[in-house]
């Protein structure tokens, strides 16, 4: 069971990505979304000319694999323009994260050894922090660049369980309002923490899951909606007596997809939070990253069977969703949990194989450039 905390539901134990490098290997789309923000981080660092050293932080980095090329390219850019200042990079995630894989990757002991920037460039120091990003994590005024990708949709605690769906996108009006309130409080905590950490002129580049102007969000950009599929297969398990009602409800994702309006709220009005803490929102826009697995299938339809596409597609979904369903089954034996989880994803895979053109996991991000003034 998840821990209860003042009537709310603590989510820290169910958040981690699949470990041993599985996450970044199976999450190419997240990497593409990160790589496309290189111009924003390069521009941000070009403005930091006075400090004696550069300190970067990657908030919610998982195993570090998806952002490794971005950091490699940024550090190469810094060095190529003759800037030899010491560079410190701090990877942050929850204590349950697989930091061991992260450290191996950064030291060139895993895949993509050619991107191990710590070995290639001098005076570059890699650190990690296992405390959640809703709190201040480095000393005040010392951070040159804060970066976060696809992480801050995780809320610090669930305000309630969702009774008839697995995600807030399918919640009742009242449930959704509770999630929205929690997400706003969390966003304000995140902004306060980053405002404290950043040096004047430093920037926070945040590319976060959200809902765009057309109501689109992850896995819901036309055709089948991914979260509805999760819900349907989880409910089938309930209807077939495989899981209990309590287990069904416990699989509520601890996430909230904010809109542009929700992200912008602390920046609006004369007496807004951003003014009080010294932040300015320079840019905010939505961005769609096409599902690489679906694109590959579309481009190779003559040679790739639908079942093969389904086999490739499901792991990208499992890499971040599996722990949610597993945590909902706490109290059962490991073999029982494995069986339930395997049949759940197999049913989803069969659905994809039968109707591949209805399934994709396009990413919808809200991209922000926030400056410390
Ligand atoms: C979907 S992964 C994204 C990883 C990587 N940034 C990327 O874009 O591929 C989300 C990450 O955020 C982390 N996370 C969730 N809540 C967090 C919190 N409160 N503090 C720090 N990390 C958190 C999760 O553990 C996970 O590693």
Q: What is the pLDDT of residue 111?
A: 85
Ligand 1 neighbourhood includes 132 CB (under 6 angstroms): yes
Q: What is the pLDDT of residue 108?
A: 95
Indicate the SS3 state at residue 332: strand
How far, in Å, is the centroid of ligand 1 from the Cα of 324?
A: 14
Q: Cα(70)–Cα(35) distance, rounded to whole angstroms?
A: 6
Q: Which long-range contacts (CB under 8 A, 24 or more apart) does 327-332 make?
A: 327/2, 327/13, 327/14, 327/250, 327/251, 328/243, 328/247, 328/248, 328/250, 328/251, 329/243, 329/247, 330/1, 330/2, 331/1
pLDDT for residue 9 is more than 60? yes
Q: Write the pLDDT tens digit of every residue in 25-66.
A: 567 899 999 999 999 999 999 999 999 999 999 999 999 999
Ligand 1 neighbourhood includes 149 CB (under 6 angstroms): yes
- Ligand 1 atom, smallest distance to 24 CA: 9
Residue 342: is it exposed, middle or buried by C-beta count within 10 angstroms (0-12/13-18/19+)? exposed
Record the tokens describing residue 209, joined without a space.
């899951």
Which residue out of 25, 133, 151 has the highest number of ligand 1 atoms within 8 Å of its CB and is therefore the one to mutate? 151
- Ligand 1 atom, smallest distance to 96 CA: 25
Q: Mean pLDDT, the chain, as a whole number?
A: 94
Q: Cα(215)–Cα(259) distance, rounded to whole angstroms?
A: 9
How far, in Å, is the centroid of ligand 1 from the Cα of 83?
A: 30
Indicate the SS3 state at residue 261: helix
Ligand 1 neighbourhood includes 34 CB (under 6 angstroms): yes
Ligand 1 neighbourhood includes 255 CB (under 6 angstroms): no
Ligand 1 neighbourhood includes 155 CB (under 6 angstroms): no
Q: How close are the terminal C-alpha atoms of the chain, in Å? A: 43
- Concatenated DSSP letters of 71-116: HHHHHHHHHHTT----EEEEEE--TTS-HHHHHHHHTT-SS-GGG-
Q: How many structural domains compose the chain?
A: 1
Ligand 1 neighbourhood includes 207 CB (under 6 angstroms): no
Do the domain assignments include residue 344?
A: no
184 contacts 41 by C-beta, under 8 angstroms: no
Q: Tell me which residue has its CA closest to atom 26 in ligand 1.
A: 62
151 contacts 208 by C-beta, under 8 angstroms: yes
**Percentage of the chain exceeding pLDDT 70:** 93
Q: Cα(116)–Cα(106) distance, rounded to whole angstroms?
A: 5
Parallel, antiparallel or unpaired: strands 143-149 and 198-211: parallel
Ligand 1 neighbourhood includes 320 CB (under 6 angstroms): yes
Q: Tell me which residue has its CA closest to atom 18 in ligand 1.
A: 132
Which among 315, 303, 297 has a CA at the least distance from the CA of 356? 297
Do the domain assignments include residue 239?
A: no
Packed helices 226-239 and 306-328: angle between N→C axes, nearest 10 degrees:
60
pLDDT for residue 367 is more than 80? yes
- Which band of pLDDT confidence, cut at 50, 70 and 90, is reported for residue 4? very low
Q: Cα(58)–Cα(145) distance, rounded to whole angstroms?
A: 9
210 contacts 366 by C-beta, under 8 angstroms: yes
Indicate the SS3 state at residue 130: coil
pLDDT for residue 1 is more than 70? no
How far, in Å, is the centroid of ligand 1 from the Cα of 92?
A: 8
How far, in Å, is the centroid of ligand 1 from the Cα of 124?
A: 23
Do the domain assignments include residue 144?
A: yes
Ligand 1 neighbourhood includes 208 CB (under 6 angstroms): no
Q: Write the pLDDT tens digit of every residue in 169-223.
A: 999 999 999 999 999 999 999 999 999 999 999 999 999 999 999 999 999 999 9
Ligand 1 neighbourhood includes 154 CB (under 6 angstroms): yes
- Concatenated DSSP letters of 160-209: S--SS-SSGGG--HHHHHHHHHHHHHHHHHHHHHHHHHEEEEEEEEEEEE
Q: What is the pLDDT of residue 220?
A: 98
pLDDT for residue 2 is more than 60? no
Q: What is the pLDDT of residue 8?
A: 66
284 contacts 368 by C-beta, under 8 angstroms: yes
Q: Write the pLDDT tens digit of every residue in 272-281.
A: 999 999 999 9
pLDDT for residue 3 is more than 80? no
Which residue out of 11, 23, 154, 206 has the highest number of ligand 1 atoms within 8 Å of its CB and is therefore the one to mutate? 154
How far, in Å, is the centroid of ligand 1 from the Cα of 178?
A: 22
Q: Write the pLDDT tens digit of every residue in 69-114.
A: 999 999 999 999 999 999 999 999 999 999 999 999 999 998 899 9
Do the domain assignments include residue 317?
A: no
Q: What is the pLDDT of residue 246?
A: 98
More confident site: 7 or 219:
219
Q: What is the pLDDT of residue 26?
A: 67
pLDDT for residue 19 is more than 80? no
Do the domain assignments include residue 312?
A: no
Enter the pTM of the model.
0.94
How far, in Å, is the centroid of ligand 1 from the Cα of 271?
A: 31
Q: Cα(342)–Cα(332) distance, rounded to whole angstroms?
A: 15
- Ligand 1 atom, smallest distance to 133 CA: 20
Q: What is the pLDDT of residue 76?
A: 98
Do the domain assignments include residue 284?
A: yes
Q: What is the pLDDT of residue 6?
A: 40
- Which band of pLDDT confidence, cut at 50, 70 and 90, is reported for residue 24? low
Domain that holds residue 279: 4-219+253-292+360-372
- Ligand 1 atom, smallest distance to 58 CA: 6
H or E element, residue 148: strand 143-149
Q: Cα(226)–Cα(218) distance, rounded to whole angstroms?
A: 8
**Percentage of the chain exceeding pLDDT 90:** 91
Do the domain assignments include residue 305?
A: no
Do the domain assignments include residue 126?
A: yes
Question: CATH number for the domain including 287?
Answer: 3.40.50.150
Indicate the SS3 state at residue 359: coil
Q: Cα(305)–Cα(335) distance, rounded to whole angstroms?
A: 31
Phi/psi of residue 162, nearest 5 degrees: -95, 125
Ligand 1 neighbourhood includes 30 CB (under 6 angstroms): yes
């Amino acid at each position: 069971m998840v821990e209860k905390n003042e009537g709310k539901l603590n989510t820290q134990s169910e958040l981690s990505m699949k470990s041993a490098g599985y996450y970044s290997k199976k999450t190419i789309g997240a990497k593409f979304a990160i790589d496309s923000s290189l111009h924003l981080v390069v521009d941000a660092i070009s403005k930091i000319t006075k400090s004696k050293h550069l300190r970067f932080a990657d908030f919610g980095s998982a195993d570090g694999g998806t952002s490794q090329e971005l950091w490699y390219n940024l550090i190469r850019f810094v060095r190529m323009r003759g800037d030899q200042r010491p560079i410190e990079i701090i990877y942050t995630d929850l204590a349950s994260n697989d930091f061991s894989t992260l450290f191996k990757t950064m030291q060139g002991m895993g895949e993509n050894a050619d991107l191990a920037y710590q070995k290639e460039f001098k005076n570059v120091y890699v650190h990690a922090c296992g405390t959640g990003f809703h709190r201040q994590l480095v000393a005040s005024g010392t951070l040159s660049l804060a970066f976060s990708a696809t992480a801050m949709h995780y809320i610090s605690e669930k305000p309630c369980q969702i009774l008839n769906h697995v995600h807030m996108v399918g919640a009742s009006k009242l449930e959704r309002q509770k999630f929205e309130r929690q997400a706003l409080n969390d966003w304000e905590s995140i902004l306060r923490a980053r405002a404290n950490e950043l040096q004047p002129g430093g920037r926070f580049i945040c590319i976060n899951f959200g809902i765009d102007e057309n109501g689109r969000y992850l896995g819901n950009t036309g055709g089948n909606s991914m979260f509805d599929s999760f819900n349907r297969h989880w409910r089938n398990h309930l209807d077939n007596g495989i899981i209990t009602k309590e287990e069904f409800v416990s699989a509520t994702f601890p996430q909230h997809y904010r809109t542009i309006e929700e992200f912008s709220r602390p920046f609006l009005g004369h007496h807004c939070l951003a003014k009080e803490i010294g932040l300015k929102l320079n840019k905010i826009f939505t961005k769609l990253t096409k599902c690489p697995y679906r694109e590959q299938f579309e481009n190779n339809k003559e040679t790739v069977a639908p079942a093969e596409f389904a086999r490739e597609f499901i792991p990208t979904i499992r890499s971040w969703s599996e722990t949610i369903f597993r945590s909902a089954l706490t109290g059962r034996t490991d073999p029982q949990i494995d069986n339930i989880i395997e049949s759940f994803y197999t049913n989803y895979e069969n659905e994809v194989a039968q109707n591949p053109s209805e399934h994709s996991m396009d990413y919808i991000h809200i991209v922000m450039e926030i400056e410390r003034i």
